[in-house]
């Protein structure tokens, strides 16, 4: 219950408890539902806000809450992440993609989010986060049946990649988990170091852990602390270092992977930006990028580059990112029906809105690159993919 205010103290919705804020919003939507279905005559004579204010004064004994104060409470609910919109999906485009790319027997699921260009990136990531919550609940339920007497084995392990899209997914996911009461024990794994550039640490997976409050008793973490990139010849030896060996040892425990992709020709892709930075600093030869493009580089997932046909050979680039999974391992995980899931967030760039159609196309069309069990994209990207395949 909020602190009792003197008549000289200015009221603010920010001082109200989570329980009170949520109760007011819940009642408001309940009132709207009653009004739409007919309701009683009293609700036709008064607005929903007035009805809710009356309810608060009667039930919550808060005589200071007026109709005008209902709206700031809603704003505060938005600030606390209680009001989360669920965007619509476009099932006809989903079916068209499956038919066009002959995905009839493939177990992967495609979700096309029907949102406009300006908000597409944000809503694709929110849809992906909502999907992941459902997967967490499903995996948790299966594990509870399989290991009824072993709480540790009932935990659901979620692997998170790097990048702007994954960061937005983590933010939404944290809000959903905080407001839910059915989420099982969850272990978050960083599956790459990411955040290559010194001025962009917020794009590294380990920083996403800060969205999940440390006092949540059902959340544990497995971070990945190492160099962001290492020489190709040093990689296998580096995996044995005590600081990251545990992360690699525990990778097989991961049940759900969430990752995104980047286009090789896109200025906001983390890998191309970092390689360009290394070239500019004189740390790698300026011909490296030309060589990669000559090999057909179109995109990367978890900073592992690929062409339309296959992952690029390691020898093409003298350095590589530190990541728990190679592309062929993700493909294998997606193909095997073993209870594991790979969620690929494939909306437009969250920074400029440009789609990643050229990078996404081979991940759908080429079965040797289908590394997803769940693909979440937007209407514009879906339509561009269909046009490219004509």
Q: Look at strands 156-160 and 256-263 and give their pairing.
A: parallel
Mean pLDDT of 104-108: 88
Residue 313, exposed/middle/buried by CB under 10 A (0-12, 13-18, 19+)? exposed
Query: Among 79-83, 198-202, 314-318, 366-370, where is mean pLDDT lowest?
Result: 198-202
Question: Considering the entire predicted model, what is its pTM?
Answer: 0.82
Q: If pLDDT is split at 50, 70 and 90, which confidence band does 34 have?
A: low
pLDDT at 41: 43
Q: If pLDDT is split at 50, 70 and 90, which confidence band does 298 have?
A: very high
Could you give the CA distance from residue 132 to residue 90 in angstroms, rounded to a whole number? 19
pLDDT at 253 over 50: yes
pLDDT digits (tens, 9 = 90+) for 167-182: 777 887 787 776 555 5
pLDDT at 359: 96
Residue-range domain boundaries for the chain: 13-79, 91-388
What average pLDDT is seen over the chain? 85
The CATH code of domain 91-388 reads 3.40.50.1360
- Where is 159: in which H helix or E strand? strand 156-160
Q: If pLDDT is split at 50, 70 and 90, which confidence band does 78 have?
A: confident
Greatest mean pLDDT among 221-235, 335-349, 358-372 lies in: 358-372
Q: If pLDDT is split at 50, 70 and 90, which confidence band does 286 have?
A: confident
Using only C-alpha atoms, the chain has a radius of gyration, in whole angstroms, of: 24
pLDDT at 46 over 70: no
SS3 letters across 266-298: CCCCHHHHHHHHHHHCCCCCCHHHHHHHHCCCC
- Nearest Cα residue to 343 out of 123, 186, 201, 130: 130
Q: If pLDDT is split at 50, 70 and 90, which confidence band does 165 have?
A: confident
Mean pLDDT of 293-317: 94
pLDDT at 238: 87
pLDDT at 57: 93
pLDDT at 1: 47
Q: Please check whether residue 171 is in contact with residue 211, taking contact to mean a CB–CB distance below 8 angstroms.
A: yes
pLDDT at 125: 87
Residue percentage of the chain with pLDDT more than 90: 46
pLDDT at 198: 60
Residue 262, strand partner residues: 300
Q: Give the tokens for residue 179.
A: 């407001």
pLDDT digits (tens, 9 = 90+) for 194-209: 666 565 665 666 677 7
Q: Please check whether residue 308 is in contact with residue 361, taking contact to mean a CB–CB distance below 8 angstroms.
A: yes
């Amino acid at each position: 219950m909020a602190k009792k205010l003197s008549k000289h103290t200015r009221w603010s919705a920010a001082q109200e408890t989570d329980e009170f804020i949520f109760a007011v919003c819940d009642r408001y939507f309940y009132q709207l539902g009653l009004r739409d279905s007919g309701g009683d005559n009293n609700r036709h004579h008064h607005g929903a806000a007035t009805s809710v204010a009356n309810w608060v004064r009667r039930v919550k004994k808060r005589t200071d809450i007026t109709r005008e104060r209902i709206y700031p409470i809603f704003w505060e609910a938005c600030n606390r992440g209680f009001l989360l919109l669920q965007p619509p999906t476009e099932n006809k485009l989903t079916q068209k993609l499956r038919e066009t790319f002959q995905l009839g027997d493939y177990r992967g699921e495609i979700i096309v989010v029907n949102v406009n260009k300006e908000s597409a990136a944000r809503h694709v990531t929110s849809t992906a986060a909502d999907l992941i919550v459902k997967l967490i609940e499903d995996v948790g339920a299966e594990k509870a049946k399989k290991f009824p007497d072993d709480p540790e084995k009932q935990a659901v392990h979620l692997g998170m990649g790097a990048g702007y899209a994954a960061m937005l997914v983590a933010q939404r996911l944290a809000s959903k988990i905080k407001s839910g009461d059915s989420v099982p024990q969850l272990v978050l794994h960083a599956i790459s170091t990411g955040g290559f550039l010194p001025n962009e640490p917020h794009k590294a997976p380990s920083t996403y852990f800060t969205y999940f409050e440390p006092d949540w008793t059902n959340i544990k973490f497995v971070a990945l602390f190492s160099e962001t990139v290492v020489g190709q010849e040093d990689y296998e030896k580096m995996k044995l270092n005590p600081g990251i060996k545990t992360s690699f040892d525990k990778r097989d425990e991961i049940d759900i992977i969430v990752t995104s992709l980047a286009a090789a020709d896109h200025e906001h892709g983390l890998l191309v930006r970092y390689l360009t930075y290394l070239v500019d600093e004189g740390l790698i030869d300026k011909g490296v990028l030309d060589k990669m493009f000559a090999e057909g580089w179109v995109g990367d997932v978890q900073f592992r580059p690929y062409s339309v046909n296959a992952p690029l050979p390691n020898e093409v680039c003298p350095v590589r990112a530190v990541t728990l999974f190679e592309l062929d391992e993700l493909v294998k995980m997606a193909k095997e029906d073993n209870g594991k899931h790979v969620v690929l967030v494939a909306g437009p760039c969250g920074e400029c809105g440009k789609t990643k159609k050229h990078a996404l196309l081979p991940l759908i069309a080429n079965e040797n690159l289908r590394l997803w069990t769940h693909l979440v994209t937007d209407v514009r990207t879906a339509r561009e993919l269909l046009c490219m395949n004509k």
